[in-house]
Amino acid sequence: MSTIAPQFRLSRFIASLFDIIFWVLLIFSLVGLPIVFIILFYIKLPIINGQLMTPYLALTWIADPSQTVPIIKSLIHTTFFHVVAFPGFGFAALLSAATIYVERKFLAKIQLRVGPLYCGRIEGILQLMGDGLKLISKEIIIPAKADKPIFWIGPLLFVGTAGAFVSLIPVAPGWVVANPTVSLLAVFATIGFFPIISVLTAWAANNKWTFIGGLRALHQMIAFEIPLILSLLSVVILTGTLNLSQIVQSQQHYWWIVFAPISAIVFFICILAELERIPFDLPEAESEIVAGWLTEFSGMMYGLIQLGTYLKLYAFAGLFTVLFLGGWNGPMVWPPLSPELITHGITIGPVNVQIAGLPLFSQPMLNGTLMFVIKTVGVILLILLPRGVFPRIRIDMLLHTGWYKLIGLAFVNIFIALGLLYAGVLGPGGLIQ
C-alpha cells in the first residue's frame, strides 16, 4: 500500500510549503513582533550576574554551558521542579509510560505474540504516544442523564489523588516532594480517597454497569485496605517511625522483607487488589459488567483514568520498595565525577570551558535513584506477571480473602515483629544493628 496520495505532485507540495512559510512570516512580523515588544515593555527584566537579562542574552546563555549550569542547578532545588519533574509527576509519568510499554511486550511474550511492533520502527516503542494522541483526538461523550460536574471531575480527582500519592514516595536521600513526619499515615489517607472517587463517578454516570462496578470497587478496596494497613504495622513497629525517609534510612544493613516476609506478601496481594489488576480486576470485569465503573468514560477522560492507574501502580511499587526492599540503599555503583573536570574544565581541541558548580546531582543521589528505579521496576514486573497466568477471581472469594485470610496473616507478622523487638534482636540496643 502506498503512503503517497495518487494525485501527489512534488511541485505543488513545495509550492504549498512556500505559501505556508510566507504567511507565517507575514503574520509573525505584522502581529507577533509588535506583541513581543509590547510585552517586553512592561516586563521588568531580571539582572543575573550583573547583566541585564535580555532575550538575546538568554539565548546566548542557552548555548553557553558555563552560564546555564548554575541556573539549572538553582532550578532543580525549587519546589516547582520537585513537583513537576524529578521526584514528582514527570518522573512517575515517565516510569508509568515505560511500564505500559513493558507490560504490553511482556504480556505478549507470555502469550506467544509480538505485541506492538510498527509504531516508531523499533519494536513499537512509540505505540503509547500514538494511543495517547488517539485518546486526545477522540470525542468526549457525556451521558445525557449523568451528573455532569461530578462526572467531569472524577478523572481529574483520580489523577490528582494518584499524584498526591506519588509525591509522598522518597526516591533518593532528600529527594521527596512532600516529607511530613507521618508520611505513612498520609499514604493511608490518600489511598482512602480512591474508593470514594470510584463510587462518585460510578453513581454520576447513571448506568447500571458503572453502578455495579463502583459498588464492587468500594467493596474490594475497603476489604483490602485493612490488611494493607495492618501489614505495614510490623514495619512501623520495627522502625518506630512513620516517616518514609527514616524507614529507608533504617534499612541500611538489612531490608525489612527479611524480618517481615509475611507482611510483604500480604502487602503485595493488597497492592494487586487496590490497583484492580488481574486476578482482582472485578470492578472492570469485561465479560460480566462491560468495563465496570469506567464504562461511560471516553476519549481523554478514560486516558486520564489510565494515567492515574499507572501512576498509582508506580506509587504502590515504590512504597513496596521503600518499606520492604530498602528504598535507595544499595551498593555504590555510580561512578563519581572526576575532580579534574571541575577544577580544570572540559577541553575540546582549542576550546576550554570552565563550568561552575558542575556536579549537578550528588553521587549518592544518582546512585540512590538508580537503586530505587531497579527495585521498583522489579516490583512492577511482579505486579504485571499475574495478568498472564491467572483468570479473574469471584467477588465472594475476593471478600473472603480480604476480610478473613489476609487480616489473619497480617497479624502473624505483627506478633513476630513484637517478639523480635522484645527479645532484643532488633530495635535500639538490639543484637543486630
Interaction site with other proteins (CB under 8 A): 107, 110-113, 208, 212, 278-279, 281-282, 285-290, 387-397
Q: How far is the CB of 127 from other proteins (least distance, A)?
A: 17
Helices 65-75, 55-63: crossing angle, 10 deg rounding: 100
User: Can you count the helices (H) and strands (E) in the chain?
Assistant: 21, 4
CA distance 72 to 150: 40
Give all strands (DSSP E) within 272-393, no chain letters: 346-348, 351-353
Cis status, amide bond into 336, omega within 30 of 0: no
Contacts of 271 by beta carbon, 8 Å cutoff, 6+ apart: 228, 316, 317, 320, 383
Question: Which CB, 58 or 107, lies closer to other proteins?
Answer: 107
Contacts of 117 by beta carbon, 8 Å cutoff, 6+ apart: 123, 124
Q: Is 433 exposed, middle or buried (CB count within 10 Å of its CB: 0-12, 13-18, 19+)?
A: exposed
Question: Which CB, 280 or 372, lies closer to other proteins?
Answer: 280
Chain-centroid distance, C-alpha 117: 25
Q: Where are the alpha helices (DSSP H) in 192-260?
A: 193-204, 208-239, 244-249, 256-259
Question: Which CB, 301 or 393, lies closer to other proteins?
Answer: 393
Cell output for 81: 521542579
For residues 228 and 413, the answer to whether their CB atoms sit within 8 Å is no
Q: How far is the CB of 286 from other proteins (least distance, A)?
A: 5
Q: How far is the CB of 77 from other proteins (least distance, A)?
A: 45
CA distance 257 to 333: 23
Beta bridge partners of 351: 348
Question: Which CB, 214 or 279, lies closer to other proteins?
Answer: 279
Q: How far is the CB of 313 from other proteins (least distance, A)?
A: 18
Question: Which CB, 139 or 396, lies closer to other proteins?
Answer: 396
Question: Which CB, 197 or 212, lies closer to other proteins?
Answer: 212
Q: How far is the CB of 369 from other proteins (least distance, A)?
A: 33
Q: How far is the CB of 388 from other proteins (least distance, A)?
A: 5
Cell output for 59: 539565548
Q: Reduce the secondary structure of 40-71 to three states and give it as a string.
A: HHHCCCCEECCEECCHHHHHHHHHCHHHHHHH
CA distance 167 to 401: 30
Q: How far is the CB of 362 from other proteins (least distance, A)?
A: 44
CA distance 331 to 319: 20
Question: Which CB, 344 or 405, lies closer to other proteins?
Answer: 405
Question: Which CB, 86 or 209, lies closer to other proteins?
Answer: 209
Beta bridge partners of 52: 47
Q: How far is the CB of 212 from other proteins (least distance, A)?
A: 7
Q: How far is the CB of 141 from other proteins (least distance, A)?
A: 15
Closest CA to 168 of 76, 221, 245, 231: 245
CA distance 155 to 149: 11
Question: Which CB, 112 or 122, lies closer to other proteins?
Answer: 112
Percentages of the chain per state (helix, strand, coil), in multiples of 5: 65, 5, 30
Q: How far is the CB of 44 from other proteins (least distance, A)?
A: 59
Question: Which CB, 130 or 388, lies closer to other proteins?
Answer: 388
Question: Which CB, 153 or 399, lies closer to other proteins?
Answer: 399
Closest CA to 89 of 276, 311, 412, 243: 311
Q: How far is the CB of 110 from other proteins (least distance, A)?
A: 6
